[in-house]
Amino acid sequence: MIVACPYCGNNAKFITSKEFYGKDYGTNLYSCRPCDAYVGTHGRSKTPLGTLANRSLREMRKRTHASFDPLWKSRRMSRSEAYQWISEVMQLPPEKAHIGMFNEKQCFELLKHIRNLSLVHF
């Protein structure tokens, strides 16, 4: 599978977690060293979990997950309902409604929706 780095456009390098971290986490990664960008895979597969992210986008996605995950972890809604909700408010098809695929602007937008939801319903 060929995965391009969204920052420089070059092909990302496919490496194991052992090569990347020096420790085997049972996953692989696509990495672009010059851009300090990477993304993990589903287990040992070659399927990336989203798009490559540099440091600031990784932080932003982490922050967004930290706000989003309690929506379904608290059982206010099911996990699939929560992702359906992302798809609706972000106006994205379900397969694109994942924080791992978002850029920073989309993370900001989702955070805003989460805040509004918290104010209205809970």
Binding site for Zn ion (CB under 5 A): 5, 7-8, 32, 35
- Given the complex with Zn ion, which of 35 and 71 has the nearer CB atom? 35
Distances (CA, A) of 122 to 61, 77, 85, 92, 115: 23, 12, 15, 24, 10
Return d(Cα 74, Cα 42) in angstroms, integer.
Answer: 25
Nearer to Zn ion, 20 or 72 (CB): 20
> Least distance in Å: CB of 11 to Zn ion?
9
Sign of CA dihedral 113, 116, 121, 122: positive
To the nearest whole angstrom, how small is the minimum distance from the Cβ of residue 20 to Zn ion? 15
Q: Residue 33 CB, nearest distance to Zn ion (Å)?
A: 8
